[in-house]
């Protein structure tokens, strides 16, 4: 049985923004049986000795599959896809295409989007306005590229929905409260398609229940 280490108690302002969402979304999509170990972040559980043995960076998400432990959301999703034989194609080239787009989401697209989200949420201190403008400019390069990629396709890596779409959609979600997707109709439609999936709705409900908020609070 898989155990997902996710948040159980968390500082209010980051509820709804954490990466255990993407891991749970993949679990819900694959149908693999799992349980959630809900960590108390506010009580320091991530820094305690027990969790230290599971996550060397003291971060969430991590999964433990009967003793085999995997950290890093991208690796967690690829593991789940490989294990389930779902959300990734069976052929080598198709799988590498998914890996490519997982890296794109996490190492290229997420950086400026996450920075914009952090500035919008927490202010960002001195120089934040200039930094945000720079990040918006950089984000525009990656969003332009995604819009082109989606010219004639429904999903980012392959014909079918894959874990790369879970990563990219959760990354795009970081700017859902801005108008930065407005110039990109195909990307907007792609995001809407991804978050319309029943497994995402189940994930949001389960997460909201776990954190003691409503789905509306975190949508």
Beta-bridge mates of residue 4:
36, 63
Q: How far is the CB of 201 from ligand GSH (least distance, A)?
A: 21
Q: How far apart are CA 39 and CA 77, in angstroms?
A: 20
Binding residues for ligand GSH restricted to 4-23, rule: CB under 6 A = 18-19
Asked if 175 contacts 135 with a C-beta cutoff of 8 angstroms, the reply is: no
Asked if 19 contacts 73 with a C-beta cutoff of 8 angstroms, the reply is: yes
Give the tokens for residue 84.
Answer: 């389930």
Number of residues engaging ligand GSH in binding (CB under 6 A):
8
Q: How far is the CB of 58 from ligand GSH (least distance, A)?
A: 6
| 102 makes contact with ligand GSH (CB under 6 A) | no
Give the tokens for residue 90.
Answer: 């069976």
Q: How far apart are CA 193 and CA 169, in angstroms?
A: 9
Q: Which of 192, 155, 197, 153 is nearest to 173 (CA)?
A: 192
Helix (H) or strand (E) holding 98: helix 92-103
Q: How far is the CB of 188 from ligand GSH (least distance, A)?
A: 24
Q: How far is the CB of 216 from ligand GSH (least distance, A)?
A: 21
Q: Pick the closer one to ligand GSH by CB: 44 or 185.
A: 44
- Give the Å distances, CA to CA, from 25 to 1, 80, 185, 199: 17, 11, 24, 6
Q: How far is the CB of 62 from ligand GSH (least distance, A)?
A: 8
| 73 makes contact with ligand GSH (CB under 6 A) | yes
Q: Pick the closer one to ligand GSH by CB: 61 or 112.
A: 61
Instruction: Lay out the site mask for ligand GSH across 119-138 (x = CB under 6 A, - = otherwise).
Output: --------------------
Instruction: Lay out the site mask for ligand GSH across 177-196 (x = CB under 6 A, - = otherwise).
Output: --------------------
Binding residues for ligand GSH restricted to 40-69, rule: CB under 6 A = 46, 59-61
| 30 makes contact with ligand GSH (CB under 6 A) | no
Radius of gyration of the chain (CA): 17
Which stretches of the chain bind ligand GSH, using CB under 6 A?
18-19, 46, 59-61, 72-73
């Amino acid at each position: 049985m898989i155990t997902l280490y996710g948040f159980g108690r968390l500082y209010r302002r980051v509820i709804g923004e954490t990466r255990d969402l993407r891991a749970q979304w993949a679990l819900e999509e694959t149908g693999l049986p799992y349980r959630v170990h809900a960590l108390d972040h506010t009580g320091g559980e991530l820094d305690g000795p027990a969790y230290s043995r599971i996550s060397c960076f003291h971060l969430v998400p991590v999964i433990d599959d009967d003793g085999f432990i995997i950290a890093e959301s991208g690796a967690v999703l690829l593991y789940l896809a490989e294990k389930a034989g779902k959300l990734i194609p069976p052929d080598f080239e198709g799988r590498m295409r998914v890996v490519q787009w997982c890296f794109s989401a996490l190492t290229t697209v997420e950086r400026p989007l996450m920075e914009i989200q952090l500035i919008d949420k927490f202010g960002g201190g001195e120089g934040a306005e200039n930094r945000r403008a720079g990040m918006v400019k950089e984000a525009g390069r990656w969003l332009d590229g995604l819009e082109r990629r989606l010219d004639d396709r429904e999903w980012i890596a392959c014909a079918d929905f894959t874990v790369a779409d879970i990563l990219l959609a959760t990354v795009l979600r970081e700017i859902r409260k801005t108008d930065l997707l407005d110039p990109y109709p195909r990307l907007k439609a792609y995001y809407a398609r991804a978050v319309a999936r029943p497994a995402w709705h189940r994930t949001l409900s389960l997460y909201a229940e776990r954190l003691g908020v409503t789905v509306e609070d975190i949508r």
